[in-house]
């Protein structure tokens, strides 16, 4: 069943206009990953206290937004004891070409966070961290429909095979402590390189516009 609270509008001032290649987006957003399990949407905008998160969908075809275009990684951090369940969250801050910040947030050890940090470690190891990137999120094909992330510079996929293999081995061994250490080490090193300088983006209720969808493999 699709989320009843999906955002499907055509607001030319939206931040997602920038992600899709526009130039007038002016709002900050906080985005959770895969918050509604029976929804096809992968990105959900937090709307503020007491309001349900809103699925981000494409108005031209009703499909979920997957790709955030022409952004820059500006901050990477771990937030402890979040919410009533005291979760440990990974926060990834992306800067648009208009100078606004979107914060993507998910549990630190989710497959989405593992794939995102594998790609980010590849960016750190092989490219300039200030490079303009395309950041994508999508669901896998298994029955449990885990979310994954991928990163590219132009059409060039960015990842890190050493990190990919290390996390795969930790999962196979059911070594959760080792898996978490790998992820924390990446956040520590890359976060320090970025300066951890961006404050949490203000949660707003403005809505996104149409963006083109093109899935990128992890």
Q: What is the pTM (predicted TM-score) of this model?
A: 0.80
pLDDT digits (tens, 9 = 90+) for 49-95: 788 999 998 888 888 999 999 999 999 999 998 877 788 999 999 99
| Structure-token match 């996390």, residue found | 167
For the cut 70, the answer to whether the pLDDT of residue 33 exceeds it is yes
Residue 159: count other Cβ atoms within 10 Å of its Cβ.
20
pLDDT digits (tens, 9 = 90+) for 133-183: 999 999 998 878 899 999 999 999 999 999 999 999 999 999 999 999 999
Question: How far apart are the C-alpha atoms of 93 and 101, rounded to whole Å?
Answer: 6
Task: Return the pLDDT at 198.
Answer: 52
Instruction: Provide the residue ranges of all domains of the chain, joining segments of one domain with +.
Output: 16-194
SS3 188: helix
Question: How far apart are the C-alpha atoms of 101 and 208, rounded to whole Å?
Answer: 14
Task: Return the pLDDT at 49.
Answer: 78
Task: Return the pLDDT at 201.
Answer: 42
For the cut 70, the answer to whether the pLDDT of residue 101 exceeds it is yes
For the cut 50, the answer to whether the pLDDT of residue 217 exceeds it is no
Tokens encoding 28: 């900050």
Task: Return the pLDDT at 47.
Answer: 85
For the cut 60, the answer to whether the pLDDT of residue 15 exceeds it is no
| Structure-token match 């055509």, residue found | 10
* Percentage of the chain exceeding pLDDT 90: 58
Q: If we measure between CA atoms, which residue out of 27, 28, 25 comes closest to residue 13?
A: 25
Task: Return the pLDDT at 149.
Answer: 98
Residue 179 is classified by DSSP as H
Average pLDDT on 43-51 reads 87
> 111-126 and 176-194 are packed helices; what angle lies between their axes, rounded to 10 degrees?
40
Q: If we measure between CA atoms, which residue out of 3, 60, 44, 18 comes closest to residue 210?
A: 60
User: Comparing 24 with 92, which gets the higher pLDDT?
Assistant: 92
Task: Return the pLDDT at 117.
Answer: 98
Task: Give me the chain's average pLDDT, please.
Answer: 81
Answer whether 127's CB lies under 8 Å from 119's CB.
Answer: no
Helices (H) and strands (E) in the chain, counts: 4, 9
Task: Return the pLDDT at 92.
Answer: 95
For the cut 70, the answer to whether the pLDDT of residue 1 exceeds it is no
Question: How far apart are the C-alpha atoms of 50 and 102, rounded to whole Å?
Answer: 21
């Amino acid at each position: 069943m699709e989320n009843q609270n999906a955002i499907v509008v055509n607001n030319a001032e939206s931040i997602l206009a920038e992600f899709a290649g526009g130039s007038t987006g002016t709002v900050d957003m906080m985005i959770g990953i895969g918050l509604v399990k029976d929804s096809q949407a992968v990105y959900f905008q937090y709307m503020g206290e007491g309001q349900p998160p809103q699925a981000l969908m494409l108005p031209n075809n009703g499909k979920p937004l997957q790709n955030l275009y022409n952004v820059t990684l500006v901050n990477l951090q771990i937030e402890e004891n979040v919410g009533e369940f005291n979760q440990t969250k990974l926060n990834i801050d992306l800067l648009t070409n208009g100078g606004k910040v979107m914060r993507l947030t998910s549990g630190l050890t989710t497959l989405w966070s593992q794939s995102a940090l594998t790609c980010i470690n590849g960016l750190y190891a092989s490219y300039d961290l200030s490079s303009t990137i395309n950041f994508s999120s999508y669901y896998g094909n298994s029955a449990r429909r885990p979310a994954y992330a991928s990163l590219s510079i132009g059409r060039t996929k960015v990842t890190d095979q050493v990190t990919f293999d290390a996390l795969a081995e930790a999962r196979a061994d059911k070594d959760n402590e080792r898996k978490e250490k790998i992820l924390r080490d990446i956040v520590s090193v890359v976060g320090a390189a970025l300066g951890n300088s961006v404050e949490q983006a203000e949660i707003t209720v403005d809505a996104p516009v149409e963006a083109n969808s093109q899935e990128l493999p992890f």
